[in-house]
Structure 1
């Protein structure tokens, strides 16, 4: 198993490694360029240049924003666009990330660029940059803990059952349950049983599916209501005679 895993990681690095080096060589030491293997999110970084920007190295996990990109992969989100990030010690970053898909359309890697824009580089911050909160942890447990804290407002163990369900809905929307061991860690933090977390995840996914269905149905229904021919049908039960002959 270890040999197969190692071969796969080397394959992703060999496939995209020259791209990482090209970007890093061009942008210089203030630009961290990271290659994530998404099949092993808990230690996804297989190549990194200028890791001093966020303090990470090979073997560090996917970020919370990376999990979100995976969670929304079916929507064909290929890049988030240029956005501003900030490390836990307050370092301001200008970032972008892109999904790299295999021939079947599945995301096999994520390429991230994080540019340190502090000090002399501050002028490179764009006024129209998006604002995302991203955590650059070195272990998957830290990623999960930070997401639980954010979703629960730091009150994970003291919430009522309904509030705990909402926390799990939020964590599910962020893709955090794609991380190995996340269910048990969330259960421990919320002081609920592991089967309860699985139950809430199913309910959260069902809730999201219903909401997405309604969001698609309403515009279509409104379009029909705004259609003059549909209005005529609604009022008389059939099209006006002249239109019917056409």
Structure 2
């Protein structure tokens, strides 16, 4: 590949920018040994548009694409079925890392960027495991998540949790319990699901119009 010239559209730039939040979140999840890079291929001589934990490779935003990453791009351009590559490599300090490079596709299915993850292995197993356990008591330790097989099960599970919360609160009068339950479900986004109003109404023994009324009143408050 002698050169790769592309001009990004507004939509292409929106797509690339949408990966920035993903990069930050993934780096926080995996910890400080995870370096994440987003390449904008409009300028290969300054392709790094974002890098998290770049101290591992000594790079920052505005750095050029590496020779190895450029060769991967060449392979992806030659083979439309190849859109990601996993491999092991070393940085200039001789530190080994496991790496992942994936194509970012823009309009007309063009490769407009690359999403790269480098996880450095020069970390003890103890340190790695500690990053996956809470370091202090916080509200996050009390978060639970239930995985369901369909949306109706999701609605009913949320309904049961809301009912437990409301029924355990002695300051909520009997006449207001359904209203508070609906408010809690709305805060969790349950009513964004298809047929949620009918499902919740049926299980609370009220009409769907009553559910809509409570939702309207909540939006006014």
More helix by percentage? 1
Please give the TM-score of this superposition, normalised by the length of structure 1. 0.43
The structure having more radius of gyration, on CA atoms, is 2
